[in-house]
Amino acid sequence: MPINERNDTYKHENGLQEKKENSITNSKSLVTKVEQLFKAHPDIKRITLYEPDNTLRINGAPAVKLPNGKLVIAPDLLCELHDGNFFWIEVKDKCQRFYKHDTGADIHQILGFYQIDYYCNQPVLMVFQDSTLERCTVKNANEDLKEEFKKRWQKFEGEPYGNWLRNSLILDTTTKYPMIAREKSRELDMYIFYFDISVFSKLNSIDLLKELSKLQKVDIKAYEGENLLTFESLIKKSIGGNDDYKCESISNLLPICQSCNKSFTPRTQNAVLCIDCWKKQHGYS
């Protein structure tokens, strides 16, 4: 969820979800940190927290209108270069997983970011930041697992790390990443898109913008080759689909909410409502 749409308190259907400590403060601090890092680069003309008007919203969250008229979830920061090109930065303050060498985000967000790049040729930089080693470590895990995780955590030492989404979609036939998994989040089923942690590096605006110039010279439609497992292929394998599926229709793999008529990530089997409409029907804020 975009940083400016997050709440201090999250509730599941029984109203028992505990408060997410310091979530908004930590997220805003991280976004500011990333913003200042890129603002200092001489190629950057403008970088802003994306806040469109109410016509560009999906259930209140900032959205981007694609050339085909569809709205998709927007990343946090919109960046304009002096050469007139644009790119986006999505910032997530979350620990990499303890038992898996990966980190990720809700597939509905990743789906939107992919389409922004695909249709608009505006690459999206995915940025993550772990919390402290203590907060990321599973306390009752055995010492070998703790030591293994500590080595992964020390790669970034609690500093922001990231990569361009387009680069992160390249399939590693050995690790099988990236991958999609259906998991429980706040006791709801949802699909999470996971990246192998090895595809990320500590943020370096100079190196990232050098890579960006290469990306923007190659249209993503032409960029996709046999070594790049396209996003819709991942969705087909994990959620469903057919062999005739085309990249332009990725969102058709997701169901349409019977209330708001927008595509959504199903959080329960045979779901017919997005989570926001479900909450409204059941009286949750």
Looking at residue 204, its amino acid is N
Question: How many Å apart are CA 192 and CA 101, to the nearest integer?
Answer: 14
User: Which of these, 136, 232, 152, 242, lies nearest to 196 by C-alpha position?
Assistant: 152
- 19, 8 in Cβ contact below 8 A? yes
Residue with tokens 């806040």: 51
Question: How many Å apart are CA 69 and CA 129, to the nearest integer?
Answer: 33
Q: Which helix (H) or strand (E) holds 153?
A: helix 143-154
Question: How many Å apart are CA 216 and CA 87, to the nearest integer?
Answer: 9
pTM of the model as a whole: 0.75
User: Which of these, 201, 65, 226, lies nearest to 125 by C-alpha position?
Assistant: 201
Distance of CA 150 to the CA centre of its chain: 24
Give me the pLDDT at residue 268, please: 58
Give me the pLDDT at residue 150, please: 97
Distance of CA 209 to the CA centre of its chain: 20
Residue with tokens 């332009």: 248
Question: How many Å apart are CA 57 and CA 71, to the nearest integer?
Answer: 8
Q: Which long-range contacts (CB under 8 A, 24 or more apart) does 152-156 make?
A: 152/96, 152/101, 152/197, 153/96, 155/197, 156/129, 156/130, 156/200, 156/202
SS3 134: helix
Going by C-beta distance under 8 Å and a sequence separation of 6 or more, which residues neighbour residue 216? Answer: 85, 87, 121, 123
Q: What is the number of residues in the chain?
A: 285
Report the top-level CATH class of 3-252: alpha beta
Give me the pLDDT at residue 214, please: 85
User: Which of these, 74, 121, 122, lies nearest to 221 by C-alpha position?
Assistant: 121
Domain range list for the chain: 3-252
pLDDT in tens, the chain (285 residues): 333 333 333 333 332 233 344 455 668 889 999 999 999 999 999 999 999 999 999 888 899 999 888 899 999 999 999 999 999 999 999 999 999 999 999 888 888 898 898 888 899 999 999 999 999 999 999 999 999 999 999 999 999 999 999 888 777 768 878 887 777 666 666 778 889 999 999 999 999 999 998 888 776 666 555 444 556 565 655 554 333 333 333 444 566 788 988 776 665 556 788 777 887 887 775
79-to-68, 139, 148, 285 alpha-carbon distances in Å = 22, 40, 37, 33
